[in-house]
Amino acid sequence: MSSRVAEEIFGKRGVDLGAARRGRGWTNHTWIADEFVVRVAPEPGSADLLRELELVELLPAEVGYPEVLDAGVHHGHEWVLTRRVVGENLDEVWPSLDDAARARAVEQMWERARNVHRVDVAAAAPHARSRSPFFPDGPADVEASLGRIVAAGALTERQKDGLLQALERFWAALPAAPRALNHGDLCAPNTLWHDGSVVALLDFEFSVIAPTAIDLNEVVKIAFGPGDTAERAPLRGVVREIGESALAPAGGPDVLIGYSIMLETWVLERELTAPEPDEDDRATAIAMLAAFAEDDGGHFAPILR
């Protein structure tokens, strides 16, 4: 049904759905034509698309969010039509970029995120998510999740205890951490790249009011997460600079580590129960959590010193 919605929305603009290409994304269905992009909620009923529109009206132009042309509900599905921003998905072009371009992309992605962070919190709060699905409501929820991961054999009891100790410091530090509007899913797939520069951040459906450590975690992981050192090492200089200026306003090391632990816990439990798990995501989450359990900053230690 979502394709029928897209076909009818495009048809009003004289666009043949068959000439459009499917975009990436796991929460909404997206079709990209020469001039327009339509996003359609995959299921009928209330979704995030129309709520997101209220939020993006508050974003500074420097974020680069596409011009919204129309939106509504059709056949029960929420949909949004935007003018296409010329560019390519950063995740898709990443393998073709050299080290200098990748470092520039990370730096510019964070700069655009900083413009999100300066949105007035009181104005944004009614339109942001009340909570992110990536992070639990409280200590009991994340402890239960870690318990299930241990029962599945992906982590040990000792590692769970180390992670819970780090999370105790997170919960203690959280009330004092400044709040701001976060993109909430800041990553290469939600970034547009054109002619050597980042031109836009997309998909604000997971935006939340929280410490900016949520967004900072994503940037730090690009350079300091587990994986190919040869690929990550050239990015570490620019990410260290970002960390030097952003870590304290983001809530400090305990808040950054806490959000990272909770995100990797969510990823790992999802992959452990998925019918067709992403083995790379699972391995990365296990490596991140095992390192954080040692209580020395894990993979993020270099930017915490």
User: Which pLDDT score, from 0 to 100, does residue 61 have?
Assistant: 96
The secondary element (H helix, E strand) that includes residue 40 is: strand 36-40
Residues 136, 180, 209, 24, CA torsion sign: negative
The span from the CA of 10 to the CA of 43, in Å, is 19
Tokens encoding 135: 């992070």
- Rounded CA gap, 181 and 152, in Å? 35
Q: Which domains does the chain have, with CATH numbers?
A: 2-83 (3.30.200.20), 88-304 (3.90.1200.10)
Q: Is the dihedral of CA 287, 293, 296, 302 positive or negative?
A: positive
Q: For residue 156, what are its two tokens?
A: 């040990």
> Closest Cα to residue 200, out of 74, 56, 27, 11?
56
Q: Is the pLDDT of residue 47 over 80?
A: no
Buried b (16+ CB within 10 A) or exposed e, 110-132: bebbbebbebeeeebeebbbeeb
pLDDT at 46: 76
Cα separation, 178 vs 173, in Å, equals: 11
DSSP-derived pairing of the beta strands 68-74 and 180-182: unpaired
Query: Is 159 within 8 Å of 238 (Cβ atoms)?
Result: no
* 8 A C-beta contact, residue 285 and residue 268: yes
> What would the pLDDT profile of 19-31 be if each residue is shown by its tens digit?
898 987 778 899 9
**pLDDT (tens digit per residue) in 83-130:** 999 999 999 999 999 999 999 999 999 999 999 999 999 999 999 998
Amino acid at 260: S
Tell me the per-residue pLDDT of 260-285, one tens digit each, with 9 for 90 and over: 999 999 999 999 999 999 999 999 99
Give the pLDDT band (50/70/90) at residue 227: confident
Q: Is 268 exposed, middle or buried (0-12, 13-18, 19+ CB in 10 A)?
A: buried
Q: Is the distance from CB of 149 to CB of 155 less than 8 angstroms?
A: yes
CA–CA distance, 115 with 112 (Å, rounded to integer): 5
Q: Radius of gyration over alpha carbons of the chain, in Å? A: 20
Q: What are phi and psi of 167, to 5 degrees?
A: -70, -30
Supply the pLDDT for residue 289: 98
Distance CA 6, CA 24 (A): 15
Could you tell me the two tokens for 150?
């241990």
